[in-house]
A and B are shown apart, each in its own frame.
Chain A
Amino acid sequence: MKTAPEKAMAYTAVVILAAIVLFMLIGFVAGSFMSGPLG
Chain B
Amino acid sequence: MALPDRVKRILLAPKEEWQVIDREPATVASLYTGYIMPLAAIPAIAQAIGYSVFGVSVPFVGTYRTPVGSAITGAIVSYVLTLAGVYVLALVIDALAPTFGGTKNQIQALKVSAYSSTASWVAGIFALIPGLRILTISASTASTCSTWGCRC
The prevalent SS among residues of A at the interface is helix
- Whether A4 pairs with B100 at a CB distance below 8 angstroms is yes
Interface range for B = 35 or more
Chain B residues contacting A36 (CB-CB under 8 Å) are 64, 66
A34 touches B71 (CB 8 A): yes
**Cross-chain contact of A22 among B77, B85, B104 (Cβ < 8 A):** B85
- The verdict on A30 contacting B92 (CB below 8 Å), with A1-B103, A15-B147, A16-B147 known, is no
- Number of A residues with CB within 8 Å of any CB on chain B: 27
Binary CB contact string for chain A from 3 to 38 against chain B (1 if under 8 A, 0 otherwise): 110011111101110110011001101110111110
Tell me the complex Cα distance, A22–B92, Å: 10
Enumerate 24 A-B pairs (CB-CB under 8 Å) in ascending A order: A1-B109, A3-B101, A3-B102, A4-B102, A7-B102, A8-B151, A9-B151, A11-B97, A11-B99, A12-B148, A15-B93, A15-B147, A18-B92, A18-B93, A18-B96, A19-B89, A22-B85, A22-B89, A26-B82, A29-B77, A30-B77, A33-B70, A35-B70, A36-B64
Q: Apart from A1-B97, A12-B151, A18-B92, what 5 extra A-B contacts exist at CB < 8 Å?
A: A1-B102, A30-B78, A33-B78, A35-B67, A35-B70
Instruction: Point out residues on A near B: beta carbons under 8 Å.
Output: 1-4, 7-12, 14-16, 18-19, 22-23, 26-27, 29-31, 33-37
Chain B residues within 8 Å of A, Cβ to Cβ? 51, 58, 61, 64, 66-67, 70-71, 73-74, 77-78, 81-82, 85, 88-89, 92-93, 96-97, 99-105, 108-109, 112-113, 116, 144, 147-148, 150-152
